[in-house]
Amino acid sequence: MKRTSGSAPRAAGTPTVGLPEGLMFFEHRQLWEDFFRRLGCRTVRSGRTTNRILNRGVELCCNETCLPVKAFAGHAASLLGKTDFLFVPRYASVCPCERACPKLCGLPDEVRLSLKDRIRPLEVAVDLGRNPAKTRESLGRLARELGRSREEAEDAFSGAVRAGLTAADSPNASPAPGRRGGPVVAVLGHPYMIFDELLSMGLIGKLRAAGCRVLTPYDLKRSERRRNAQPFLGREFFETGLDILGGARIFLGMPELAGMIYLTPFACGVDSLVTEFVERRLRGGRWVPFLKITVDEQSGEAGFDTRLEAFLDMLPHAARQRRESV
């Protein structure tokens, strides 16, 4: 089986591994970088999502796939020929009660198929909840391909990754809170949607520029999010769904919350359930302006901005300002 495309000459000691910066890497980038550092590899990131990357992904993937997966395939394609290996983890479950979206379970294959078998990605099957043996097995394969021993790979995994997958704080979540004093706007969505500047059309930046303080579920402690993830408390559900449900419930309990935005990629299966639960909580409880924006590769930024402006005008804070200025 081919390992690399265009085979960049392999440096004898330090192979390079490409990390496509999409999907799970928004949360776990540092973990995997540390993992490969421990294995004596150099990692190369694909960088921010650009229009070129996204368009490439859209060309490569089957058209029913969701926007972030398309972007991910574009990132993977942009790394072709630049590194010795391409790394695409296969997330199935990080702990017993949490499932990954099916698209993450098939991601390495999806990438390989959409790149027409030009590269066979290195993978680690993260299936800690259901079948840890599979994780060990995949680490063994990865070690073989990198020319390392199985023990080295397992040590690197337990040292660098395992604990971080379920750590209390999201390692890569945007740390900088917006300006103090502004209206608090909660932004809900998958980390790879809301933190990707291109896919989210700079949503968080725009809110901050408008003077809002932005909160996302990933600013909260993981354990807190889980404690509030109704109605799936202690029961199995999609991991990102638990994050968002828990986050939404906590934000709704914050008196200073001025508004809530849910950013979802078109036809997202997990969000179809989660948005409904969030909307029902809103309808049944406190009155908070709520904006659900659906985006895909055909969304125009002007329309997006218009909706965002209309939403900002609706916030109680803006209304007060308007009254004062009249």
Partner 1 sequence: MKLTFPHMGNAYVSVKVLLDTLGLDYYLPPIGSRDSFERGIANSPEFMCLPFKTVLGDFIQGLEHGADTILFGGGCGQCRLSYYGDLQQEILRGMGYRFNYIPLDFKRLTYDEFMNKLGPVLDGAQKARLIPAVTAGVRTVFAVDGLYRQACRVRCREKSAGETDGVMRRFEREVRAARGYPKTRDAIRRARRALAGIRTDEALDPVKIGIVGEIFLSSDPFTNLEIEQKLGDMGALAVNTMSVSEWIRKHFVGALLPVRPKDRAVRAAQPYMHTDDIGGHGIYTIGNAELMSRRGFDGIIQVYPFTCMPEIIAQSALGEIERKNGVPVMTLILDEMTAETGYVTRLEAFVDMLQMKKERESVRRRGRIRTGAKS
Which residues form the interface with partner 1 (CB under 8 A)? 61-62, 64-66, 90, 92, 99-103, 105-106, 108-110, 113-114, 123, 125, 231-232, 235-238, 267-273, 275-277, 280, 284
d(CA 42, CA 167) in angstroms, rounded, equals: 25
d(CA 22, CA 266) in angstroms, rounded, equals: 17
Calculate the alpha carbon distances from 79 to 14, 18, 163, 266 in Å.
17, 6, 28, 26
d(CA 250, CA 311) in angstroms, rounded, equals: 21
- The H-or-E segment that residue 248 falls in is helix 239-252
CB 256 within 8 A of CB 177: no
Least distance (Å) between residue 231 CB and partner 1: 5
d(CA 61, CA 20) in angstroms, rounded, equals: 15
218 versus 237: smaller Cβ distance to partner 1 = 237
DSSP 87: B
- The H-or-E segment that residue 62 falls in is none
81 versus 106: smaller Cβ distance to partner 1 = 106
223 versus 272: smaller Cβ distance to partner 1 = 272
29 versus 136: smaller Cβ distance to partner 1 = 136
Least distance (Å) between residue 100 CB and partner 1: 7
d(CA 111, CA 88) in angstroms, rounded, equals: 8
130 versus 221: smaller Cβ distance to partner 1 = 130
Least distance (Å) between residue 150 CB and partner 1: 18
Least distance (Å) between residue 307 CB and partner 1: 17
Least distance (Å) between residue 87 CB and partner 1: 15
